[in-house]
Structure 1
């Protein structure tokens, strides 16, 4: 059982500060990987909360595998974001004030597949054809770091 789940047993749905990592995967065509989230029924970026004893890089790498089946050991910090735009209320009422560390997977291996119950689908989208309903925090990341994010495709590498 995860740290946040354990914490919620004591504090219920009250707001908490959640430190975590989101990871960007951009394919050779310059398309960004999104997950169709099962909890909110919108499109977000792979990522999640830090567990006790983890580094932020480990969070990004773990969440990438858990949510997409992809593997990387080469990540680069793109930015850190927090504040009102990153406050979020989950459908079950849990409130969080997210501190998001955005990483870029510089190379990935593996086969794209859903490994858990957090996603309905995994799809790469181009900058000019993004999904219509993007999760609030992912939308804020794209607005604030869009130029930086879309420039990352020049450093992407797929390993067989």
Structure 2
């Protein structure tokens, strides 16, 4: 995250193009793991931004350890999401166009949230997803689970 903070010192809130990785994680009932983000006050797919020199796979593995203390046992690449539909403006005014690699992940299920970025996590049935999903999460899930 220091990389993005350093960039923001140079460019302010102007739109940045940033790489990120996310993970579709399901429990044994097929329910989807979502995390409630403290910075945006909404639910989203676990993941985060790439640090310099990382691969997409390394990014999602690191983010899941940092945010949820979980270890990935397997990753299956799903898709890349990018373009104007994946623009996001954070509450502080920072603007981002994301290039996201999405994976399906199998994990060890001992989840402990960091409580800095993530307030809580929960598994949701696809029929009963929370109403306050991030727009990015809505778009990704509608493409994967139509």
TM-score (normalised: structure 2):
0.95
Q: Does 1:145 align with 2:144?
A: yes
Where 1:74 maps in the other structure, the secondary structure is: strand
The CA deviation at 1:6 is 1.1
8 Å Cα contact 1:19/1:49 also seen in 2? yes
The residue number in structure 2 matching 1:59 is 59
Alignment of 1:53-132 (within 5 A): 53-105=53-105, 107-132=106-131
* Structure 1 unaligned residues grouped into runs of 5+: 148-160
* Structure 2 unaligned residues grouped into runs of 5+: none
* Number of residue pairs matched by the alignment: 146
8 Å Cα contact 2:67/2:117 also seen in 1? yes
The two structures, once aligned, show a CA RMSD in angstroms of 1.2
8 Å Cα contact 1:61/1:73 also seen in 2? no
Q: Which of structure 1's runs of 4+ aligned residues deviate more than 3 A? A: none
Structure with more strand by fraction: 2
